[in-house]
Amino acid sequence: MRKFFTSLFIFLVAASMIPAVSFAHDGESAIRGKADAEHAVHIRAGKGDTDDVSFAASASTTANISLETDKKDKEDGNNKDTDNESDKHHVCNIVPPGHLIALGWLREHGGIRPIVPPCQILPPGILNHEHERKHPTSTLPDVTPPIITLIAVTPSSTSAVISWKTRELSNSQVFYGLTTTYGSSTAVNTAFVAAHRETITGLDPSTTYHFRVQSKDAAGNTATSGDQTLTTNALPDTTPPVILSTGVSASSTSAVISWVTNEAATSKVYFGSVSPLNIMSTSTFSVSNTTLATSHTIGITGLTTSTTYFFIIESANAASNSTTSTQQSFTTL
């Protein structure tokens, strides 16, 4: 005996009688169905031995009808051909392709995708989507180190700020020293950034240092710059000039005052006929020359004859450190 299984979907329409439906099976047998106004269907299957099946369904309802019959095998050796011919007419219960990718539908069904039968051919786009979902492309490991650019230095007399950029997020460290063997380094700044800024301290003034910067990305790839140099600034000048020898040459209405300083400095003389001389007073006269020099000469005119005048010399260097002399005097002729 051979058992064959036939499955079909019948869509029932509530408004009117559904015409009889007939599916040719193997040229010898048929399945026939007819729905009346109450949507009852009577199906007769086969040729010879017959099994009748009846059911009722509401409008707009899909009915899945399975029917089994037993039929004696033919003894003429054509069993294989009959089976192959029967398989060709099986109904393919296809899955709506959109259910494989529709997020709303997947949420409603707990993320479980429907099973696609082997007989169904999916659209190319959904087929590719399913292939990529089941066979995701593996990510290659990151073996490329960061690229270091735009190294810049801002030195002071005892420290320096070093900055640079990388084309990917990475940490920061600076190696430095008096030679290319370096010998000192900053602590690793573990923040992963693209713009780096590190400060090295404890440097000597007016000294050249070698340094290089280093950055490591999250995958452990390290980039190191070539050797760079920086020179620290000199210590700021806080020492005023020293006024050395002083001389005065007076006439009846004028005088020339000269002096020497140990470094280039400006020249200024405060003078007046009142002692002690107050250089902050508006009644005190002054003559000045802003040229930096070590030999200074200032001429005073418009003086009164046979009069004693008091004066103070002032000189300031390029760093604006100034010095003043003690009060001195001269008498016109």
pLDDT of the chain along its 333 residues, tens only?
444 433 333 333 333 333 433 333 343 333 333 333 333 344 444 444 444 444 443 333 333 434 343 444 444 445 555 555 555 555 677 778 777 777 777 777 777 878 878 787 878 887 787 777 777 776 788 899 999 999 999 999 999 999 999 999 999 999 999 999 999 999 999 999 999 999 999 999 999 999 999 999 999 999 999 999 999 999 989 999 999 989 999 999 999 999 999 999 999 999 999 999 999 998 899 999 999 999 999 999 999 999 999 999 999 999 999 999 999 999 999
Q: Are residues 247 and 325 in the same domain?
A: yes
**For the domain that residue 318 is a member of, what is the CATH number?**
2.60.40.10
Q: Answer yes or no: pTM beyond 0.85.
A: no
Residue whose structure tokens are 């990718």: 101
Could you tell me the CA-to-CA distances from 193 to 99, 123, 154, 165, 213 in Å, in that order? 43, 45, 20, 9, 14
Widest Cα–Cα separation across the chain: 161
Q: Is residue 141 part of a domain?
A: no
Q: Is residue 143 part of a domain?
A: no
Q: Is residue 157 part of a domain?
A: yes
Q: Is residue 200 part of a domain?
A: yes
Q: Which domain holds residue 323?
A: 243-331
Which alpha helices (H) appear in the chain, and where do they start and end?
Answer: 79-87, 103-108, 124-134
Phi-psi region of 111 (alpha: psi -120 to 50; beta: other; left: phi over 0): left
CB 254 within 8 A of CB 299: yes
- Per DSSP (E only), the strands in 120-252 are 148-155, 160-177, 184-185, 189-200, 208-216, 222-224, 228-231, 243-250
* DSSP-assigned beta bridge partners for residue 51: 45
Q: Are residues 122 and 199 in the same domain?
A: no
Instruction: State the Cα torsion 48-54-59-64 to the nearest 10°.
Output: -70
Q: Are residues 6 and 66 in the same domain?
A: yes
Give the model's pLDDT for residue 159: 97
Q: How many domains does the chain have?
A: 4
Cβ partners under 8 Å of residue 316, min gap 6 = 240, 241, 265, 266, 322, 323
Q: Are residues 219 and 153 in the same domain?
A: yes
The H-or-E segment that residue 298 falls in is strand 285-301
Cβ partners under 8 Å of residue 11, min gap 6 = 60, 61, 62
Q: Is residue 247 part of a domain?
A: yes
Q: Is residue 140 part of a domain?
A: no
Give the model's pLDDT for residue 90: 59
Q: Are residues 79 and 7 in the same domain?
A: yes
Grouping H, G, I as helix, E, B as strand and the rest as coil, residue 107 is: helix
Q: Are residues 206 and 252 in the same domain?
A: no
Q: Is residue 161 part of a domain?
A: yes
Give the model's pLDDT for residue 138: 65
Q: Are residues 271 and 327 in the same domain?
A: yes
